[in-house]
Each structure stands twice: as C-alpha cells, then as structure tokens.
Structure 1
C-alpha cells in the first residue's frame, strides 16, 4: 500500500480532507463548502462547527483510509501561526486528527490555516520562489496580510509586515456580491458578472505604506448598489479593480522598501483571473521588477492539501532527528 499522510482543515468556509504521498501526489481528497442561507454574508462559529461535525464522517468515508498506509495525521489548529490566534472551527479538525492518530497508532502534527494556504500555493504553483525568504500575500474572507515568509524544515517562519486595517479582501467581495444578489461565497459569481462590464465605474483605493483599508471602498460600492444607478456588472468590476489597485500600491511600496521581489499570492481571492493578470502586468513591469507566483486556482480556496504537505515536512524532520 502507498504511504500517505492525512491532512485536515476545518475553516469557516469549507470542510477539507486530503491524503498526500511523500512525493506530493494527491491520492484522495474530499471537501465540502459549508452551507450559507441565501442573503446571508457568512456563518456564526457555532453553525460552522455543527456543519463540520456533520460533514466529517461522510467525507472521511470517501477517502477509504483502509486502502492506504497512513504514516501520520496533520490538522490546522488555528487561523495563523501566532500565540493569540484562535477560532472554534479549527478545533473540530484538531480533535479528529488527534483521535485518528491514537486509533491508527501514528504521530499527529499541527499547523495553521495560513501556513496551509502558503504550502498549497508553493506546491501547486507552476514555479516556486527561488529564495527561501519571500513575500506571501494571503487574501481571503478572514485574512488580508502581507507576510515576510521564510522556509524552515517544518514549514514557515512568518512575520506580518502589512495588510488590511479593517475589512478583508474576501469580505469586500462577499458583501458586495450579496448586495448584488449573488450567493455566498460570492467570488466566482462576482468574477463572472464582472466579465460583462466595460469598466465605466471605479472607486478609490486607500493605501498607507504597507497597510490598506477596504471600509471606504465598501461604502462607495454599497451606495452604488443601493441607488441602482450603476449596472451590477460595473460594480462587480469596480470591486475587482479596487482590489487590484490596493494590492499593487501596497506591494510596490513593499518592494521599494527593500522587501523581497518574489511574491507568492494565495487565498480564495487569489483565484480571480482578472486580479491575477492585472497584478502580473503591473508588478512584473521592468520598472518594478517583481516576480509573482500564484496557487493553482483549484487550491486557492480553503483546502487540506497544504496542511498534508506541512505534515510531511514535520514528519520527515522528526524521522531525521530520531
């Protein structure tokens, strides 16, 4: 039987399980978006926890664990790799990981959701940053951060150097999308809607050094949506355009301040093709000289593949030290 490691991620948006081999091959995976009622902009933690508890037995059965040699289990235990980072949903996956490890008689490793996104980005990108130290940008419904990221034997050493001071990029997309009548999470539908736009409507971006704000743009976009004087497609494109301009300015400031020119962009918002193409065009211009790396769109959203890869790194480090 092939030796695999089980990765588990129970975020506020998706239940995810992944079996990955030592070579990085995904041998089996099962994931499910959490259900959000129409018109709502997210879930309370208690409801998300309940849905994870209900999803995990069925998703676990889909993996057919008896067909593989499970070497270890790894789960994301918290949102970010800092001491005060906590969210109840991740305790569901952590509890399952620890229980399975006991029953299977294998090690259990823990990591963070953010590190899982970065690992998924690195292991699915067409090309990885050449240097061990690079910039990572994490854009999702719960995080919009610019990170000084350094590879270490068990994962990453991360230091936040910038990001949003209020709303996150994914929150902006979802709030505008729901206001336009789109389902939550709104990212894919907003991107499709924006393709019909001519780009006649824009809102200002707010950037101060490496920090930025989305509350002002949100107010302008919601006002336009409420007044119905601007086509929905134009509002959707203006949302994308605001995100692009904000990130471009902040990352230009980072490069000019001496941070790495190699920039890995991960998280659900990074799946947007308009945003990808726009940032590549602007930031890889010779005048700036950055090099951008993107996760495979299929793994930009919440997933357990990066968690499994980090588990392998921890497992191999432990084996070497034994």
Structure 2
C-alpha cells in the first residue's frame, strides 16, 4: 500500500468540497463551502455554480496547506460527473475535474475520476459502519437524484451500480425546496422544513398522496398537491409534515418491493434528503418490522449532504489497494 495522503474534490450543484484521507482510511481534513443562493430563488444556474466553485476551491486548497504536507500526497480523486454512466454530464463537475487533473499532473501522482454518486455511497458506508458482504440496496434521495439502486462492491475497490427505479420527474429534494420556498424558506429548504414540521400537531390528518408504480415514482403530482394546500391557507407545519410523510411512504413502497423481489435485506440510505430525522425514524419503524426484515444503514447527517469524504476514501481503496472484497 502506498503511504501518504489521498485528496478528494467535489463540486456539486450547491457545495464546494475538499477532503483528505490517510492510507489507513482516516479522514484528516473535511471542509466545504455552501454556494450562495439569493433569497426567494429556487436554485442556481450551472454557470453561476461554476463561477462560485472557481472562487471557492482555491480557498479550500489554501486552507488545506495548513493541515498536510503536499509532498506526502500520493493520489488525487475528483467527482467528474453525477453518476458512473457514460452519458452522465454536468458542467459543475468540470471544476473539480480540472483542479484534480491539474494538481495530479503537476505533482506527478495518479488521478482517479469518480462520480458524485459513488462518493455518496462511500461516505454512507464509512459513516454508518456498514460493511457490505454481498449485494445491497441503496436509496439515494437528494436535490439532484432520487433513485433506488442495487450495488455490488468490486474487487477494484469501486462499485457496480444498477438503477432499479427512479423519479419520473422531480427529485425529492426539489419537491422539498419548491414547497419550502413558497412557504418563505431559504433554498435549499430541507433543514428549515424539517424544523417547521416539528411544530405539527400529532393529531394532524393532513396527507399528500404518494405516487408509485413498481419501482418508478413521481413527485410532480405531490408537489402540485402541496402548492394547492399552501394556496388554501392550510397550516404550514402540517404541510411540512405531510411532505415528509409523502417522501417516506414513497421510499417505503419501493424498498419493500425490492427487498421481497431481490431477497436483499441490507439497505443503505444516502443523499441530503436522508438526513431528515423524521423520515429516518418512519422508515426504521416500517422497514425493520419483522414482516419486512430489512436492515437499514443510514449515512450520518453530516455526510448525507454533499461532501468530498467519499471521494477521498475511494481514492484510498482504489489507488492504494485497501478495498472491499466482493
């Protein structure tokens, strides 16, 4: 195994991230800068995201210089696209790719191109303490992805990923953000919506119907339903809780089907939406019930949101050879 530091970069739609792991898989540096979104806005253009990443990434690298000796860096990895698919592209990831390839070339160390989704999977495994011994299911719900995956850990240290189901329109995070912004919240709205939902009465019967067909699902209809509730003047905390329940029930339905059809019990939950404590508790109660028998593994909330920790750790496993055995 090569001894030294492995640097990871990730420039997603709303966070600039850098992380460093040593050769033993211990994270020694983890810093992020959230992109600035104007109040009342429902997102940023890719060009605006790229501009902020170009400004933020050098700041993180200068900060990194205070923590590690660059002469001891033996590998660099970066998110270069959203998913590990040939047709997966997004301009924001060109920033982390450009920085990673440039530094690796100058320092004459290996560069490892990875995907944002692979980083989330690795961060989830790392923070949950889950050690995959065979194929497992993964639920990746965020503002840019809403998918049910079947995952295999490869001998190379990476993952073989099969998409079982996905949203036909809006992602879960978009559902939350659109409703949240219309209730006066900042973007992204996840943390604020979760706090607001805590004020909901336990007796509230307000519900937003979930829309699931097989492994496919939709959040466009539920979002329109929620907007009508807002326009009718329904209690905002009750609407927030109804959004959480709708998302949780959607996940419950697709995971139940997959656990039964594929006879896979281990399920890893990753992505920003999965940091929501109500949704986590709801799923644990429903899916870990003996009637289903699933074993749920949740990424820690601080690693559920976008970060470069998983990217740095995958660099160790793939470049240094400290990998999971399939």
Deviates more, 1:273-282 or 1:192-201: 192-201
Question: Aligned with 1:158: secondary structure?
Answer: strand
1:6 equivalent in alignment to 2:10: no
1:183 equivalent in alignment to 2:161: no
Q: Is the 8 A contact 1:140 1:268 kept in 2?
A: yes
Superposition TM-score, scaled by structure 2 size: 0.94
Taking the TM superposition and a 5 Å limit, the aligned residue runs for 1:172-321 are 172-198=175-201, 199-228=204-233, 230-317=234-321
1:156 equivalent in alignment to 2:159: yes
- Distance in 2, matches of 1:256 and 1:166, equals 26
Distance change in 2, residues 1:71/1:33 (3 Å): same
- Please point out which of 138, 141, 157 is paired with 2:140: 138
- Distance in 2, matches of 1:305 and 1:132, equals 23
- Distance in 2, matches of 1:292 and 1:32, equals 30
* Structure 1 residues without counterparts, runs of 5 or longer: none
- Please point out which of 106, 112, 116 is paired with 1:113: 116
Q: Is the 8 A contact 2:157 2:322 kept in 1?
A: no
- Distance in 2, matches of 1:156 and 1:291, equals 20
- Distance in 2, matches of 1:129 and 1:213, equals 32
- Distance in 1, matches of 2:39 and 2:56, equals 20
- Distance in 2, matches of 1:201 and 1:318, equals 49
- How many residues are paired up? 316
Q: Is the 8 A contact 1:129 1:262 kept in 2?
A: no
- Distance in 2, matches of 1:147 and 1:289, equals 18
Deviations 1:175-229 (A, max 9, x none): 111011010110011000000002331111111111111111100101111221x
Q: Is the 8 A contact 1:30 1:60 kept in 2?
A: no
Deviations 1:243-290 (A, max 9, x none): 011111111111121241110010000000000010000000000011
- Distance in 2, matches of 1:91 and 1:49, equals 8
Distance change in 2, residues 1:63/1:248 (3 Å): same
- Alignment partner, residue 18 of structure 1: 19
**TM-align CA RMSD:** 1.5
Offset of 1:67 from its aligned partner? 2.7
- Please point out which of 85, 89, 100 is paired with 1:86: 89
Deviates more, 1:252-261 or 1:133-142: 252-261
Deviations 1:269-320 (A, max 9, x none): 000000001000000000001110011110000000000111112212499x
Superposition TM-score, scaled by structure 1 size: 0.95
* Structure 2 residues without counterparts, runs of 5 or longer: none
